[in-house]
Amino acid sequence: MRRLATILGTTAMLAAVTAGAAEARPTSFSAKVVHGAGTGATAGALTGGMSWSSSLKSVTLSNVKLTVRAGECVNFRITGRQGSAVVAGPKSYPPADHGGSYCTDTGYTWSFGTIGLTSAARGGIEYVDFSITDYTHTLAGWTTCDRDAACTGADH
């Protein structure tokens, strides 16, 4: 009986450690492009939720939204990487074969819903890169989300 209690206690501890590690993954992302070397007005912002599958081979982005300031034209790209190798995507918005950007005279938010990235690579997706470009002023911002840490980036 004592041995069973020890096994159950160890199993519960391992389950708690495993659950804690999964919670360290980023659950949301935000990337923006800002005028004035990051001190001016935000031309565009990309936001949403994110979750990694248990296999780590797919990442689901949810409630993806692009907000563009009046008078701006913005596009964005999402790429899954393992180290420096691209293993999912890139997915360009608007799609590369359509050209153009998301432009607005009055300011607008586009909703993209759910976007999925899937990789067949052994080890899955380690990082998701978000790049956002102010096409009008040739500025770019980026964010990289590390599945084992947090999201980091620059907005100009």
More confident residue, 4 or 107: 107
Judged against a pLDDT cut of 90, whether residue 19 lies above it is answered with no
pLDDT (tens digit per residue) in 43-100: 999 999 999 999 999 999 999 999 999 999 999 999 999 999 999 999 999 876 666 7
For the record, the structure tokens of 80 come out as: 């899954």
* For range 114-139, the mean pLDDT: 93
* For range 129-152, the mean pLDDT: 91
Residue 149 lies in a domain: yes
Look at residues 30, 23, 62 and name the one whose alpha carbon lies nearest to residue 148: 23
Provide the CATH number for the domain around residue 133.
2.60.40
Residue 12 lies in a domain: no
Question: DSSP string spanning 124-148?
Answer: ---EEEEEEEETTTTEEEEEEEETT
* Amino acid found at 100: G
Residue 17 lies in a domain: no
Instruction: Supply the pLDDT for residue 7.
Output: 39
Residues 6+ apart with CB under 8 A from 47: 28, 29, 30, 31, 63, 64, 65, 67
For the record, the structure tokens of 130 come out as: 């978000």
Residue 143 lies in a domain: yes
Residue 9 lies in a domain: no
| Alpha carbon 42 to chain centroid, angstroms | 19
Q: How confident is the model at residue 13 (pLDDT cuts 50, 70, 90)?
A: very low
Instruction: Supply the pLDDT for residue 135.
Output: 85
For the record, the structure tokens of 92 come out as: 């360009």
Residue 21 lies in a domain: no
Instruction: Supply the pLDDT for residue 98.
Output: 61
Q: Is 60 helix (H, G, I), strand (E, B) or coil?
A: strand
Residue 132 lies in a domain: yes
Structural domain tally of the chain?
1
- Domain boundaries, position 128: 26-154
Q: Using CA atoms, how far apart are residues 90 and 45, in angstroms rounded to an integer? A: 19
Alpha helices in 1-155 (DSSP H): 2-23
Residue 89 lies in a domain: yes
pTM score: 0.80
Q: Using CA atoms, how far apart are residues 92 and 120, in angstroms rounded to an integer? A: 20
- Count the Cβ atoms, other than its own, within 10 Å of residue 135: 18
